[in-house]
Amino acid sequence: MLDQMKQTGRWDSLKLQWKSGDPNPPHRFWDSDIAKWLEAACYILTLQPDPSLAAQVDEAVDNIRNAQHEDGYINTYYTVVEPGKRWTNLSWSHELYDAGHLFEAALAHNLYCQSRRLLDPLLKYIRYIDSVFGLREGHKAGYPGHQELELALLKGYEQIGDKSLLVLANYFLEERGQPRPQGHYFDVEAEARGEAPNPGPSPKGAPKYSYHQADRRVRDMESIEGHSVRAMYWLTAVSNLARVTKDESLLEAAERLWDSTTKRKMYVTGGLGGMSEWEGFGPDYVLPNETGYLETCAAIGLVFFAYQMLLIDPRRTEYADILERTLYNAVLVGVSLDGKRFFYENPLATVGKLYERSAWFDCSCCPPNVARLIATLGKYVFTVGADDTIYVHLYISCTAELTISGGKRITIVQQCNEPWNGGAKISINGPDAHRMKFSLRKPLGAEDFKVYSEGINISSLELNGRVETYMTGGILTVDFAYSARAISPHPLVLDNRGCIAFMRGPFVYCAETIDNPQIKDLRAIRIIPGRTPREFVEKREFSEWGLDPIVLKVDAIILEDGVRKEDEVTLIPVCLWANRARSDLRVWLPSLLPDEGLA
Amino acid sequence: MLDQMKQTGRWDSLKLQWKSGDPNPPHRFWDSDIAKWLEAACYILTLQPDPSLAAQVDEAVDNIRNAQHEDGYINTYYTVVEPGKRWTNLSWSHELYDAGHLFEAALAHNLYCQSRRLLDPLLKYIRYIDSVFGLREGHKAGYPGHQELELALLKGYEQIGDKSLLVLANYFLEERGQPRPQGHYFDVEAEARGEAPNPGPSPKGAPKYSYHQADRRVRDMESIEGHSVRAMYWLTAVSNLARVTKDESLLEAAERLWDSTTKRKMYVTGGLGGMSEWEGFGPDYVLPNETGYLETCAAIGLVFFAYQMLLIDPRRTEYADILERTLYNAVLVGVSLDGKRFFYENPLATVGKLYERSAWFDCSCCPPNVARLIATLGKYVFTVGADDTIYVHLYISCTAELTISGGKRITIVQQCNEPWNGGAKISINGPDAHRMKFSLRKPLGAEDFKVYSEGINISSLELNGRVETYMTGGILTVDFAYSARAISPHPLVLDNRGCIAFMRGPFVYCAETIDNPQIKDLRAIRIIPGRTPREFVEKREFSEWGLDPIVLKVDAIILEDGVRKEDEVTLIPVCLWANRARSDLRVWLPSLLPDEGLA
C-alpha cells in the first residue's frame, strides 16, 4: 500500500513541491489517504514493533508538521493547487474531511508512542478551524461536505479529554441541515464562488442536500438518504455525541436512523448503498444485486456506527449482530486473502466475469480504511460497561488488556474455534478477576449456545441473547455450534423475489463460477426447496492462505440450453470469492417455482 | 420547447456573442438541440402551414448560416468557448454529433421548402469535414465520439443522391474500432491534448472503448455494449449502409447486433439501458426495474434502427413488432399527455413518488428528439418494397402519398380503430391502384386477424404474420381484436423472478398508485395466478386529453402491515402514467407464490 502511495505521488505531495503547470496535481483527498495509512501504521506498531514501519511513520509525521502553515492550517491541495481558496467549497472539497483523518492519525500516533509530535500540530489546526467556523459574528456557519471530522473530534475528546473538541463537534452536528434565513450554507458558499446553487433533485431520488445528509436537522430525519459513507461516518459521530451528552432526542434520532439503515436499507451481507448513481441509499427495500454499490468504506462505516450504538446499550444484541455480520461479509469481501488487492464496490451478483480486486484506486479511500479497521479489530471483541461488566461481543482468539474502574488493568485471554466452528474458552487474570461480571453474547447463527462456569452449565441465565454471570473460577467456557441455514428475502425486496440465500454462523454464502464449472451462467440455478445443505471441510485452493473453510453443497435444478438437470451447487463464504480466478458470484439464488416443475 | 430553448440561451448562442468570462457558456451539445428543434419544425411545416413557426425556422436558418466560418465549419462551442481547439477531442466533444444533427435539419428544411438556404451551407461543412478526416496522409483517422453524423450522411445520400456522403459515412463506419499501430484514435488524440489515455475498464463492465462501441470493428462484435443512444444511432447507420451497399457481412453484423439488443438487452417496453452508471447496456438479461436507465432517446434510436432493418426485410415481422412495442411504450412514456413535459429516464418501477416529467433538462436531448419522431411518424406506417409492394406496418389512421416505380404517386387512406380496438379499412386511389400488391402485418397481440378483399375473407393467405394480396376492389378491410394477456419473464432475467406483466395489443400495462389508493406500497401486490384480467373503458381523468383508455382490473392479494386481503388492482398503459399526480408505477408485478398461500 505504501508503494502505491509513493508511486502515485501521494506520499511526497505533503512536501508541497508541486507547482502550477506540473503534471499530476495533488487531489483534494490525498491528505486523507496518507492520514489513514499513518493511523493504521500506528495501530499496528502498538501491537508489534517494526523499526522499518516506524521510520516511515516518522517521515510522514515530519512531512505533515512541515506542511503546517503559521496559523495552524494543513492541507496539501489548498496550499499548492488552489492557494487562497481555503474554506470556499466545504460541500465538495473534502477539506474538513482531510482534517478529520489527520486528527485521527495524530490520536493513533499519540497512543502508539505517547509523543505529542503530531498531536500538538493537529490540536493547533483544530483550534484554527474552531476560530473559522461557528455562529458568532464573522465566522462561517458551515460544516463538512463529507463528514469525518465530527467523529475524529469526539474520539479526540474521549481520548485526551479536551472539552473544546466536544464543543466543536457539537456545533458541526447541530448546525448541519439547520434552516437559516440566509439560505442553505452549501448554496451560500456556492454563490460566493460565483456558481449556481447546489444541483437540484436527481430524477431518481437523491434530493437536494440529502446526498450530504444536510437537508434537515438530524432530529427531524426519519430515513437515512444520500451517500452511504458520509451517512455512516456522520451517524457514528451522532451516536457518539448522544452517548457523551446523554441527549435523549439525539439518542432517539440515532436509534431511528439505525433502524432505517439496518432494517430497510441494508443488504444481507451488511453492505450499504443500492444506488450506484450516487454511491448511496435508494428507497426502502430497493436492493438491486448486480447494480448495487455496497462500497467497502460504507461497510466499515457501519461497523463504526454499530460500535457506538453498542457502547450506548451493550445488552441490545442487534448492534453486535450487525457489527459481526458486516465485518465477516461486507468488510472482508473488500480485501483479497493476500491482503494486497481491494474491491471498492461489492455487488451481490455479477455477470460476465468482469470484476477483480485492484491494488489501488484513483479515489483510494478503501484500502487504508480496511487497514485501519483490521489494525483496531481488538476493540470490537470486548467492551467494559459503566458497572465494569465485561461484554463479550465477538469470539475471536486474543489476549486483551482492559481498563476498569480506578484505572485498574485486567488481562483476558480468549481462545476460540471461530470462525468455522463455535466455542470459546475465556480466562481472566488479575487481583479482581473473580469479582468481574461477564455478559456473553450468543453469536449470529449459533445453535446450542451454552456457557459453563466451573463446569456448571449456566445457560439457563440467557436473556435476550446474552448470558450474564460472575467469573468465579477464572475460566468461562462457551459452547455453540453452527449449521447452514436458508434465508428468505424480505417480502418487499422484490430484487430477491423467489430467491433464497444461505448462511452459516456469521458467514453469508455464495455460488462462485470457479466451484461450479458445470454451470455456464449462475442464473440458471434453481435451488430445490426443502433439501438440507451438506457441509464439507474443503481445502480447495484456500489452503494456500491457511484456510480450511466449510463449504456447502445444495441440491438444485440447472435450467440451461433448454435442458433441466439435477445437480449439486457448491457455495463458499462471500468474503472468499474472487481470490482464485476471474469468476462470477451470486448470493441470492432462485428457488425452483411450481411452474418450473419439481425434480 | 422554443421558450426553454430561448430562456436557457441556446437559441441566441448561435449568434456567437458569448465572450470568455460571461456567465452561461454555450455547451458542447447546444447546436444539436437547436438542430433537432429545427428538424422537427420543418417536418411539422411539411404537414401543415404555420407562419409563426416558419418565421422562427427562418431565424434559426439565418443564425446557422451566419455562424459558418469561411472554410465551412459550424460549431458554437468551438467558435466562442474553446476557439482553436477544433477536432482535438472527438471522443467526448460531440462536435461531429452536432454536425450530424445540423445536417439532418438541413435535409428536413430542404424537404419542407425545397430551398437550399440551409442545405448548401451544410454540404459545404460536410465537404470541409471530408477534407479533415480519413486515412490519407495529413488527415485525422478519427470518427465521432457520439455517433449521429453517420446516419445523417446516409440519409442525405438517399435524399439527394450525393455519393460523397456515402463515401464519408462508409469511412466513419469502417474505421470505427479498427486496430491501428499508432494506437486507438481516442488515445492518440488524448495524448495530443496532453492528457492520459481514455479511462480503463469500469469495475462493473463498461470496458475501455466499448462505451463508444469503438473497442472493435462492427463485423467482429458479438454483443451490443456501452452507451445506448450512441449504440442505436450507430446501428441505424450500420444497417442503412448494409442495405445501400448490399454488403453481406455488414448485414450479418447488423442482424447479430439486432438480436443482441432486442433478445437479450431490451426491457418489455422496448426500453434500453439497464445500467444507469453509463446510461447503457449491462450484461445480457440484467434489466433492473427501479435503477434501470431506459433513456427516451435510446428508445427513439431503437425505432430508427428497427425501421432500417424493416427496410432491409419488410416481411420479417419482428422488426415492425419491436418498432410498434417501442413506440407505444418506451417512446410515448417519455412525453406527457399535454406534450409539454418529458422523462429522460424511464425505469419500470419507482418507489417514493419521486419522479415527474420536466419541461427541460440541462442535457436536453430527449424533448426535441421526441418532437422530430412524432413529426415523422407517418413514414413508419407504410413502406414501399422494391417490387412496389405496399407494406402496412402500423394501423394508425392517416392519408399517405407514396411514390412507386417510375415516380408515380398513389394515395392511401387508412381508417383505424386503433389503438384500443383492432381493425382498419385501407383504401387506395390512383390509376394503378387496382394492380398494387399489399402486405398487411398482423399487429402485436392481435387476435382473430382477418383480411377482407371485396368482402371475401382472404386470411388463409397469412404467412409468418403477414397477409399478402393484390388490391382488387379499391378497399381492403382488416379486422382483429385485442385482449389482455399475461407475460412471463425470461428465466434468466432474475430481476423479474416470480413476477408477471400484462399487455393488451401493443400496450404494456402498469399499476400506478393513483389508481390503487388502497395500497400504500405497490410492492405489496401479489397477483393471483390464473385469474383473467377484466377490461373496462374508463374515462377517469384521461378524458381531459380526449382519451378513453381500456383499463385492466386483476385479482391480487395485498400483503401489507402483516395483513392479507384480496383486492382488485387497476392497471393502465405505461405510456399514460405520471400525468395526473406524483405517483409510483410498477410494470412487473409479483405473482403469489405457494409459500405465501393462496387466497
- Cβ <8 Å between A274 and B285: no
pLDDT, residue B230, reads 97
- pTM for this structure? 0.92
pLDDT, tens digit, for every residue of B375-403? 899 899 999 998 899 999 999 999 999 98
Best residue in B27, B195, B204, B527 for a mutation probing chain A (most A CBs within 10 Å): B204
Judged by a CB distance cut-off of 8 A, whether residue A289 touches chain B is yes
Q: What is the pLDDT of residue A599?
A: 41
- In single-letter form, the type of residue at position B127 comes to R
Suggest the residue from A286, A293, A563, A583 to mutate for an interface test with chain B (most B CBs closer than 10 A).
A286
At B201, the pLDDT band (50, 70, 90 cuts) reads: very low
Q: Using the predicted structure, report yes or no on whether residue B205 has a pLDDT greater than 60.
A: no
Across A339-356, average pLDDT: 91
Asked if A391 and A400 touch (Cβ cutoff 8 Å), the reply is no
Residue A201 near chain B (CB below 8 Å) = yes
The residue-averaged pLDDT of A33-50 equals: 94
Q: Which fold has domain B218-359?
A: Glycosyltransferase (1.50.10)
Q: What single letter denotes the amino acid at residue B236? A: T
* Helix runs in B338-480, H state only: 366-375
Rounded distance between C-alpha atoms, residue B306 and residue A442, angstroms:
61
Contacts of A596 in chain B (CB under 8 A): 491
Find the closest chain A residue to B343 by CA distance.
A203
Q: Does A345 touch chain B (CB under 8 A)?
A: yes
Residue corresponding to grid cell 481472566: A428
* A422 within 8 A of A479, measured Cβ to Cβ: yes
Which backbone phi and psi does B411 adopt, to 5 degrees? -115, 130
* Beta carbons of B581 and B515 less than 8 angstroms apart: no
The sign of the CA dihedral A414, A417, A419, A425 is: negative
Is the CB of residue A497 less than 8 Å from the CB of residue A561?
A: no
Q: What is the pLDDT of residues B391-449, one digit of tens each?
A: 999 999 999 999 888 888 889 999 998 688 888 899 887 766 667 899 999 999 999 99
pLDDT band at A203 (very low <50, low <70, confident <90, very high): very low
Q: Are B297 and B242 in contact (CB under 8 A)?
A: no
Cβ(A30)–Cβ(A10) below 8 Å: yes
- pLDDT of the residue at A80: 94
Contact call for B497 and A499, based on CB within 8 A: yes
- Quick one: average pLDDT of A270-280? 93
- Does position A500 have pLDDT exceeding 50, yes or no? yes
Give the closest residue to A234 by CA, choosing from A163, A289, A175, A285: A175
**CB within 8 Å: A291 and B204:** yes
- Nearest CB to A498; choose among B291, B498, B524: B498
Is pLDDT at B203 greater than 50 in this prediction? no
Mean of the per-residue pLDDT values for chain B?
92
Residues A71-114 have pLDDT tens digits of 999 999 999 999 999 999 999 889 999 999 999 999 999 999 99
In terms of CA atoms, which chain B residue is nearest residue A529? B595
Instruction: Please report the sign of the dihedral spanned by the C-alpha atoms of residue A108, residue A114, residue A115, residue A120.
Output: positive
Q: Give the CA-trace dihedral at B174, B177, B178, B184, to 10 degrees.
A: 140
Which chain A residue shows the shortest CA-CA distance from B352?
A283
C-alpha to C-alpha distances, A28 to A91, A520, A524, B484, nearest whole angstrom: 12, 44, 45, 57
Residues with Cβ within 8 Å of residue A185, at least 6 apart in sequence: A90, A141, A142, A143, A175, A214
Enter the DSSP assignment of B513. Answer: G
- Residues of B within 8 A of A281 (CB-CB) are none
Percent of chain B with pLDDT over 90: 73
* Domains in chain A: boundaries: 1-197, 217-359, 380-444+447-481, 484-596
Q: Report, as an integer, the average pLDDT of B464-493.
A: 92
Do A276 and B207 make contact, defined as CB atoms within 8 angstroms? no
Q: Which chain B residue has the Cα nearest residue A520? A: B492
Worst-scoring range by mean pLDDT, A32-41, B294-303, B511-520, B534-543? B534-543
Give the residue-averaged pLDDT of A206-213.
82
Q: What nine digits make up the cell of B540?
A: 377517469
Q: Which of B344, B351, B559 lies at the smallest CB-CB distance from A203?
A: B344
pLDDT of residue A117: 97
Q: For residue A419, say if its preceding peptide bond is cis, omega within 30 degrees of 0.
A: yes
What pLDDT score was predicted for residue A455? 85
- The DSSP line for B406-421 is GG-EEEEEEEE-TTTS
CB–CB contact A497 B499 (8 Å): yes
How many CB pairs lie under 8 A apart between chains A and B? 116
| Nearest-by-CA chain B residue for A494 | B523
What average pLDDT does chain A have? 92
Residues whose CB is less than 8 angstroms from the CB of residue A14 and which lie 6 or more positions away in sequence, other chains included: A31, A34, A60, A63, A64, A66, A67, A76
**Listed residue (A156, A154, A326, A313) closest to A240, CA to CA:** A154
The helices-and-strands tally (H runs, E runs) of chain B is 16, 21
Residue type, A347: P
Nearest to B310 by CA among B394, B223, B201: B394
Q: Chain B contacts of A366, Cβ < 8 Å?
A: none
For B596, the closest chain A residue by CA position comes to: A491
Domain A217-359: which topology? Glycosyltransferase (1.50.10)
Mean pLDDT to the nearest integer, A293-319: 97
Average pLDDT score over residue span B213-224: 96
User: B532 or B543: which carries more pLDDT confidence?
Assistant: B532
Cell of A263: 432494517
Taking the C-alpha atoms of B1, B4, B9 and B11 in order, what is their torsion angle to the nearest 10 degrees? 20
Select from B409, B408, B427, B426 the least CA-distant residue to B417: B426
- Cα dihedral A262, A264, A270, A275 sign: negative
Distance from CA of B277 to the nearest CA of A (A): 6
B165 neighbors B103 (Cβ within 8 angstroms):
no
What's the grid cell of residue A13? 505531495
Nearest to B321 by CA among B214, B466, B536, B207: B466
Per-residue pLDDT at B575 exceeds 90: yes
pLDDT at B134 over 90: yes
What's the fold here for domain B380-444+447-481? Immunoglobulin-like (2.60.40)
Residue type, A425: K
Enumerate residues 6+ apart whose C-beta is below 8 A from B449: B442, B443, B459, B462, B467, B478, B479, B480
Looking at residue A206, its pLDDT comes to 57
pLDDT at residue B406, rounded to an integer:
85
Residue in A364, A363, A308, A304 with CA at minimum distance from that of residue A331: A304
* A183: region left, alpha or beta (phi > 0 left; psi from -120 to 50 alpha): left
Q: What is the pLDDT of residue B599?
A: 42
- Report the length, in residues, of chain A: 599
Q: How far is A293 from chain B (nearest CA, A)?
A: 10
Going by C-beta distance under 8 Å and a sequence separation of 6 or more, which residues neighbour residue B389? B314, B436, B437, B438, B439, B468
Residue that has been written with the C-alpha cell 455478559 in this structure = A439
Contacts A524 to B, Cβ<8 Å:
491-492
Name the H helices within B203-337: 228-245, 248-264, 296-312, 317-325
- Beta partners for residue B189, in sequence order: none
Q: How far apart are CA B526 and CA B521, in angstroms?
A: 12
Q: Do A523 and B275 touch (CB under 8 A)?
A: no
The helix/strand/coil state of A554 is strand
Q: Tally the residues of chain B.
A: 599
Alpha-carbon distance A420 to A427, whole Å? 22
B523 touches chain A (CB under 8 A): yes
Decide if pLDDT at A201 tops 50: no
A306-318 average pLDDT score: 96
B25 touches chain A (CB under 8 A): no
Cα B122 from chain centre: 25
User: For residue A197, what pLDDT is reported?
Assistant: 76
Query: What does DSSP assign to residue A576?
Result: G
Task: Name the one residue in this structure whose C-alpha cell is 494456500.
Answer: A544
A390 band by pLDDT with thresholds 50, 70 and 90: very high
Q: Which of B211, B284, B286, B595 to mutate to test the interface with A (most CBs of A within 10 A)?
A: B286
**Strand A484-487 relative to strand A507-512, pairing:** unpaired
**What count of Cα atoms within 13 Å lies in the side-chain half-sphere of residue B455?**
0
- Asked if A524 lies within 8 A of B492 by C-beta distance, the reply is yes
Report yes or no: A273 at the B interface, CB cutoff 8 Å: no
Contact A291 B285 (CB under 8 A): no
Q: How far is B30 from chain A (nearest CA, A)?
A: 19
Spatial contact of A247 and A238, defined as CB atoms under 8 Å apart: no
CB atoms within 10 A of CB A524: 19
Contact assessment for residue A321 and residue A329, using Cβ atoms and an 8 Å cutoff? no
- Subunit contact A291:B284, Cβ cutoff 8 A: no
Segment A139-184, tens digit of pLDDT: 999 999 999 999 999 999 999 999 999 999 999 999 999 999 999 9
Q: Is it the case that residue B320 has pLDDT exceeding 80?
A: yes
Residue A594 in contact with partner chain B when CB distance is under 8 A: yes
Kindly tell me if the per-residue pLDDT of B538 is higher than 90: no
Q: Which residues of A touch B521 (CB under 8 A)?
A: 492
- A332 and chain B: CB distance < 8 Å anywhere? no
